[in-house]
Structure 1
């Protein structure tokens, strides 16, 4: 009688047999071939979510979806409003008598009409206090695979569907966020690399006492870098109220170039570049929310994202390794920014301290059946840092990822309504909690500004 089969871990390996399965040695040229193959495959896969001409296309929205998720009105009331106001968008039907659908631009036209003519206080337009700048939200963690890009992209899409104007900034040279929004930078000149160069160029001019940034006294490189504007680096997307500052592979050069620039400009505060550009170009007035996607590393680009942020969102998977890594991330945040604060304090007794409106840990890719115990432990230890809602992974989320798109770009007609509701709720609840945090921060700013004015 034979015993149980030998475990594969105990099966011997013959060196001669092993040699037969070893491929030829790999040289650096082989990486070029692999890269080209991956790029061709990437383009082919990406087109699954694209139009035939290669451009991404935002789908249309039906009345059921508009009145269920986008506007606080019933289907019957919306139809009455449209019938009574023929100048409003009336929608298109695929066939006579078929269900009508609307573009997001048309939904926003209806939203504006209802805000002006409808019942007051219904919230047709999302809240943002007058004269308050946009909030910059950096999604960060140097642990890869924790759904930073997925979280940032869906918050941007949910904000746009809610009526906010959104700027997405991709600081990750892998450019996954740029791919999702169908806008890839052609070279580093169309990425945040140009913003760092812009900031450094202006610093160089100031140290020389030159106010005219077009002066021939400045090197041509400095003049060109200082002339960069938002129009050079910010592009539209297939979402009418989402623009993007895209990324591409050469953006990573910034991690090597910044220390070179710092050798010749030691007083340059590189960490201020992104925030300074947003303020200089009036982008905090042009948009309501700025979502920054960061690379999985605490380099110069991530430090800029952290420094520019009002709100930090830190996605974390409910596993020990990811929780442990996040603890180290917090430690590095402390070490990095205390070091910057100390260096500024040596230059001025009135040097500012860094502060953020809020920091929130998001539990992502959550499976209640497998991870509830560890998630509860994380909630206890990090307490008020942790978001209440845990971002579950659903079939709808996975299928949207396969199509190089977000769940908000998936049509409910491709699923039964209950499946669609459950999948969408994963990010709707996450967005609702984020929006509550966003509005609360704006409201605190408004009250503090009023108190300062009263004190004066």
Structure 2
């Protein structure tokens, strides 16, 4: 017994030391009471996101079509995400085809709900989901990011400390719990990213996994697989796209997200151990989805895609694994892989994404390579959304 107590104390000491070190790291990265703020974008970045040429952007400013934006003494314009959204509205108002620059939902379109998932940790689910959410928001979509991983890495990347800010309340758990759930609208946090809201995660989400077996015995309604969809229904008119960052396990939380989804992105690192793990994951998923389908869950996806993650183009064995997957799954493997990049991992040191950091903080070619890779992946996902809306 004394040994067990000693281990408990040591683990507690480690947890407290780590928490203090993380708090110190956050204070070094951000002001004590500050929330994160999104940087301004260059004219070149703004033009790319708007889908116009830099020369056309300059002409629009010259013609007085756009409001004034932040300009340096040297005459360089810089754009906030809010500026970009206002400019989209101006462009779309005069476009020959309405929806050219505002590409979100139209009358009759259903909200698109994407789940990023895999059975194995370290496959890049959180990295993929947050970069997709941010890219879509920058391109004018109304996005809700939902963190259903008790580890809450996605929530942390938005500048929160889940173990402090959402220790007992304020997470998506409050909206799906069996005892007196709250309206999802009360949970959603506006973020520093224009057009991107967050339903936070936290350790308390684990309670959903613990409570569901008893709820099934007591036949509590809605059942676990319908609770997430029911919560989202309250707010779906406010968004074009809802993105789930799922935990690295096939539990009740993941199943509830799948039952609310219209599209699934399975992230996979191209090595045979991860492929073998994914094989088990797919088999278990199919069996469990059969069970919930028989229980009345509607499981109709517009698309399912495998996203190759942390890809190194010069790695021969990885190339073989990717070729193996393309032969096996065909067009369900996304054309664009997400490259392994020090820019992505280095940005994470300050709890930022590649879209948030300044290009000047990295070697230019490293940064450009990472951004190009992310844009190709996320623009391919955007095209899947557009196809689901039959455009």
Same-fold call, TM > 0.5? yes
Normalising by structure 1, report the TM-score.
Answer: 0.79
Aligned to 2:299: 354
- Determine the C-alpha separation between the residues in 2 that align with 1:48 and 1:320: 40
Instruction: Give 2:388's aligned residue.
Output: 441
Helix, strand or coil at the partner of 1:240: coil
Q: Pick the aligned partner of 1:264 from 201, 209, 218.
A: 218
Match of 1:325 in 2: 277
Q: CA deviation at 1:382?
A: 2.4
Counterpart pick for 1:298 among 245, 250, 274: 250
- Matches of 2:58 and 2:196 in 1, distance apart? 28
Contact 1:188 1:194 in 2 (8 A): no
What does residue 63 of structure 1 align with?
A: 43
**What do the CA deviations read for 1:296-337 (whole angstroms, capped 9, x no partner)?**
111111111111111011000001111011111111111101
Q: Structure 2: which 5+ residue stretches go unaligned?
A: none
Change (3 A) 1:84 1:311: same
Structure 2 CA distance for partners of 1:104 and 1:119, relative to 1, 3 Å = same
3-state DSSP class of the match of 2:174? helix
Match of 2:58 among 79, 103, 113: 79
Structure 1 match to 2:18: 38
SS in structure 1 of the partner of residue 144 of structure 2: strand
Rounded Cα–Cα distance in structure 2 between residues aligned with 1:25 and 1:352: 45
From 374, 379, 395, the counterpart of 2:342: 395
State the SS of the aligned residue for 1:382: helix
- The CA RMSD over aligned residues, in Å, is 2.3
Quick one: structure 1 residues 328 and 334, their matched pair in 2 at CA, closer, same or farther if it must change by over 3 Å?
same
Contact 1:172-1:294 at 8 Å conserved across structures: yes
> Does 2:71 match 1:126?
no
Q: Is the 8 A contact 1:317 1:366 kept in 2?
A: yes
Does the 8 Å contact 1:167/1:243 carry over to 2?
Answer: yes
In structure 2, how many angstroms separate the alpha carbons of the residues matched to 1:375 and 1:92?
44
Taking the TM superposition and a 5 Å limit, the aligned residue runs for 1:328-339 are: 328-339=280-291
Residue-by-residue CA offset, 1:399-450 (whole Å, 9 max, x unaligned): 2122211111122233455443211011101011111111111118xxxxxx
- Taking structure 2 as the reference length, the TM-score comes to 0.91
Corresponding residue number in structure 2 for 1:27: 7
- Residue 360 of structure 1: SS of its match in structure 2? strand
Corresponding residue number in structure 2 for 1:449: none
Aligned to 1:156: 133
* CA shift for structure 1 position 196: 2.2
- Of the three residues 62, 67, 83, the one matched with 1:89 is 67
Structure 2 SS opposite 1:174: coil
* Cα offset, 1:133, TM superposition: 2.3
Q: 1:274 to 1:394 in 2, by over 3 A?
A: same
Q: What SS does the aligned partner of 2:134 have? A: helix
Distance (Å, rounded) in 1 between the aligned partners of 2:134 and 2:388: 20
Structure 1 unmatched ranges of 5 or more: 1-22, 201-221, 345-350, 445-456
Task: Answer 1 or 2: which has greater helix percent.
Answer: 1
Report how many aligned residue pairs link the two structures: 384
Contact 1:72/1:123 (8 A) holds in 2: no
Q: Which runs of 4+ in 1 moved over 6 A?
A: none
Write out per-residue CA displacement over residues 44-88 of structure 1, whole angstroms, 9 at most, x where no aligned residue. 334565355341111011212111x211223333233224337x4
Q: Counterpart in 2 of 1:113?
A: 90
Measured at CA, do residues 325 and 416 of structure 1 come closer, stay the same or move farther in structure 2, by a change above 3 Å? Answer: closer
Residue 414 of structure 1: aligned partner: 361
Change (3 A) 1:436 1:37: same
